[in-house]
């Protein structure tokens, strides 16, 4: 029973009625003294003093957030005076805040028996009933509250709304009618009644409620929108279209109806008409940017075959930027569009433009830097993280990204300094703790602080037993140093089993086997690495040649070394290997 045009109705807090809702202190005795349902215990003067002291202490503890102490103190109040509705109410509020609705409702029900005219007890119990979907019981309490305070129309509204939720439709309509007599014709009341009549299958009455709004103010577009939505919900497209067009007669540039018509024709698969109204909506300068963006996201997300063509979507983005160039959000949308097209450099340029006016927007900084990471533009990462950290010094992601840039730019000592500076902001962020330890391991190894590096790798694997990158790198470093090859083989084999098509991991495993002089098995895994894309990596191709030379396949080995030389990134011994026709490592 939801209506799109409900977005038009400015709904104040529970109705824009001129109702009086005066906050009062919680009373311990009714406003009109009646004989309580449960006789109050007669307590001594000493007990009264102790009760008062304990109750005040309970309030203090509750105020400073010490709930357990407050519960103990209010419970002690009930031991002193078992019929203290005030103590019950305070306990009920604490229990309800902790999600214990059963204890809270039991306490409130008892408090209401003792003090039946205290509205605050009933309001809280009604809220608890509503949360527990006991709508009829909640409605009954609001009816009692209205009888206690007939000037408070909010109680009357809640009574009607909850009766509707309880599917007591006839009673709900009666209450809404009473409310309407008091406040006059009102958007929200009419819409609520229309939805109830529709749920009851009373179509004429439902339409009459909306027609009443139109008759009341025939120049108000949103009332025609409500009627159009009603007809759509009844599958009456012809009448729905008639009322949408009526809105355009009143307001030719009404952006909301332009989008409604776009959706209408999308449902009918009329691409030409849908495009016509979508284009008009995006060109409408008076329509809020946020509405345009939401519509754009709706039509572009999740669909394998978008309704509009790529050229049409591109045109919508262009219109959005041209008509709303003063709103930074359109450039973020444009950037995401460019990213979806693989135009990362252009997308990053758009985000830089956003940062000219929105430099305090952390998410834009992070998105831009991550694009640089995808571009492997580590110089930009280095300079941009430097700027971002000046604005957001407590963001661990920025420290991590800057450390990556330092590693790639061979600023290893600085990488360690950056990681150390960012460590206090990790807190309990386990994912970032793992990343920091991994970057620390890499930096230490490059600085020949091998013991620290291997200790950091062990820490990573302890925190994340499935961190295949750490296992691979650790194993490779062990192998090139010809140290603890058994551990290197164990680590590398785990990474390969989990990632059997990863050429880098296959190369590492083959190299560990090479260092263990198991050349035949090393050849098998190295050829798997070559088949999985390793033929484009100079180091992997050179390693393949190294294995072949050890197996006595000299011509094939030299052929692979020459390929590695063409690709680049080989070892410093590569040219000499080709010249001498033998394996060299020093």
Q: Is the pLDDT of residue 466 over 90?
A: yes
Q: Is the pLDDT of residue 440 over 50?
A: yes
Specify burial of residue 316 (Cβ count, 10 A radius: 0-12, 13-18, 19+).
buried
Q: Is the pLDDT of residue 107 over 60?
A: yes
CATH number, domain of 537, equals 1.25.40.10
pLDDT of residue 304: 60
Give the 3-state DSSP-derived string for 304-340, with helices as H, strands as E and coil as C.
CCCCCCHHHHHHHHHHHHHHCCCCHHHHHHHHHHHHH
Q: Is residue 286 part of a domain?
A: no
pLDDT of residue 80: 94
Q: Is the pLDDT of residue 14 over 80?
A: no
Q: Is the pLDDT of residue 573 over 50?
A: yes
CA quadruple 388, 394, 398, 400: dihedral, nearest 10: 150
pLDDT of residue 302: 62
pLDDT above 70 coverage of the chain, percent: 92
Which range is least confidently modeled, 127-136, 305-314, 340-349, 553-562?
A: 305-314
Per-residue pLDDT tens for 169-208?
A: 999 999 999 999 999 998 899 999 999 999 999 999 999 9
Q: Could you tell me the pLDDT band of residue 467, with boundaries at 50, 70 and 90?
A: very high
Per-residue pLDDT tens for 489-537?
A: 999 999 999 999 999 999 999 999 999 999 999 999 999 999 999 999 9
Q: Is residue 164 part of a domain?
A: no
pLDDT of residue 340: 86
pLDDT of residue 585: 82
Q: Is residue 482 part of a domain?
A: yes
Q: Is the pLDDT of residue 6 over 80?
A: no
pLDDT of residue 237: 87
Sign of torsion over alpha carbons 251, 256, 258, 260: negative
pLDDT of residue 26: 31
Q: Is residue 461 part of a domain?
A: no
pLDDT of residue 18: 32
CA nearest to 180, candidates 207, 151, 157: 157
**Residue 562 is part of which domain span?**
467-580
Per-residue pLDDT tens for 38-71?
A: 334 577 888 999 999 999 999 999 999 899 999 9
Q: Is residue 405 part of a domain?
A: no
Q: What average pLDDT does the chain have? A: 88
Specify burial of residue 577 (Cβ count, 10 A radius: 0-12, 13-18, 19+).
buried
Q: Is residue 551 part of a domain?
A: yes
CA nearest to 405, candidates 380, 375, 368, 427: 380
Which range is least confidently modeled, 40-44, 238-242, 546-550?
A: 40-44
Q: Residue 18, Cβ neighbours under 10 Å: how many?
A: 7
Q: Is residue 495 part of a domain?
A: yes
Which range is least confidently modeled, 38-52, 352-366, 369-383, 508-522?
A: 38-52
Q: Is the pLDDT of residue 270 over 60?
A: yes
Residue 129 · residue 137 · CB < 8 Å: yes
| Tally of domains in the chain | 1
Q: Is the pLDDT of residue 486 over 90?
A: yes
Q: Is residue 554 part of a domain?
A: yes
Whole-prediction pTM? 0.61
pLDDT above 90 coverage of the chain, percent: 72
Segment 336-356 shows an average pLDDT of 91
């Amino acid at each position: 029973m939801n209506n799109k045009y409900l977005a038009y109705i400015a709904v104040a807090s529970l109705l824009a009625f001129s109702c009086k809702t005066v906050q009062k202190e919680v009373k311990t005795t009714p406003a009109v003294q009646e004989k309580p349902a449960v006789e109050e215990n007669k307590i001594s003067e000493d007990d009264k003093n102790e009760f008062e002291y304990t109750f005040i202490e309970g309030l203090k503890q509750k105020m400073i957030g010490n709930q357990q102490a407050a519960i103990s103190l209010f419970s002690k109040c009930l031991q002193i005076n078992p019929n203290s509705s005030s103590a019950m109410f305070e306990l009920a509020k604490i229990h309800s805040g902790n999600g214990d609705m059963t204890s809270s409702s039991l306490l409130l029900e008892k408090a209401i028996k003792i003090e039946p005219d205290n509205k605050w007890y009933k309001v809280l119990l009604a809220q608890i009933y509503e949360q527990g979907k006991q709508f009829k019981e909640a409605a009954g309490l609001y009816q009692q509250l209205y009888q206690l305070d007939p000037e408070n129309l909010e109680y009357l509204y809640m009574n009607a709304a909850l009766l509707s939720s309880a599917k007591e439709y006839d009673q709900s309509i009666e209450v809404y009618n009473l409310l309407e007599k008091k406040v006059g014709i009102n958007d929200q009341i009419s819409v609520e009644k229309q939805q109830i009549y529709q749920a009851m299958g009373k179509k004429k009455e439902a339409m009459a409620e909306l027609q009443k709004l139109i008759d009341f103010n025939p120049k108000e577009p949103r009332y025609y929108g409500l009627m159009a939505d009603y007809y759509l919900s009844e599958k009456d497209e012809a009448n729905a279209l008639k009322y949408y067009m009526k809105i355009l007669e009143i307001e030719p540039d009404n952006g909301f109806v332009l989008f409604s018509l776009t959706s209408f024709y999308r449902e009918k698969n009329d691409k030409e008409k849908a495009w016509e109204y979508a284009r008009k909506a995006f060109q409408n300068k008076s329509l809020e940017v946020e509405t345009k963006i939401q519509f754009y996201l709706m039509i572009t997300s999740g669909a394998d075959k978008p309704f509009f063509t790529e050229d049409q979507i591109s045109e919508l983005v262009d219109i959005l930027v041209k008509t709303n160039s003063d709103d930074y959000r359109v450039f973020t949308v444009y950037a995401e569009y460019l990213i979806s097209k693989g135009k990362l450099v252009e997308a990053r340029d758009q985000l830089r433009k956003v940062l000219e006016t929105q430099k305090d927007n952390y998410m834009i900084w992070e998105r831009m830097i991550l694009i640089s990471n995808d571009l492997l533009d580590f110089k930009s990462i280095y300079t941009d993280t430097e700027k971002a950290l000046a604005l957001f010094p407590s963001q661990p992601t920025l420290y991590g990204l800057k450390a990556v840039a330092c590693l790639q730019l061979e600023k290893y000592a600085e990488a360690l300094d950056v990681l150390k500076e960012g460590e206090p902001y990790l807190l309990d962020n386990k994912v970032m703790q793992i990343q920091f330890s991994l970057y620390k391991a890499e930096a230490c190894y490059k600085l020949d602080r091998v013991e620290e590096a291997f200790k950091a790798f062990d820490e990573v694997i302890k925190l994340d037993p499935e961190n295949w990158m750490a296992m691979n790198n650790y194993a490779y470093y062990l192998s090139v140093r010809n140290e603890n090859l058994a551990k290197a083989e164990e680590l590398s084999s785990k990474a390969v089993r989990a990632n059997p098509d990863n050429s880098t991991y296959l190369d590492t495993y083959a190299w560990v086997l090479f260092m263990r002089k198991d050349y035949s098995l090393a050849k098998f895994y190295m050829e798997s690495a070559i088949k999985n894309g390793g033929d484009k990596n100079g180091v992997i191709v050179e390693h393949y040649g190294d294995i072949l030379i050890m197996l006595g396949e000299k011509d094939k080995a030299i052929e692979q070394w020459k390929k590695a030389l063409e690709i680049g990134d080989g070892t410093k011994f590569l040219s000499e290997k080709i010249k001498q026709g033998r394996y060299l490592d020093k």
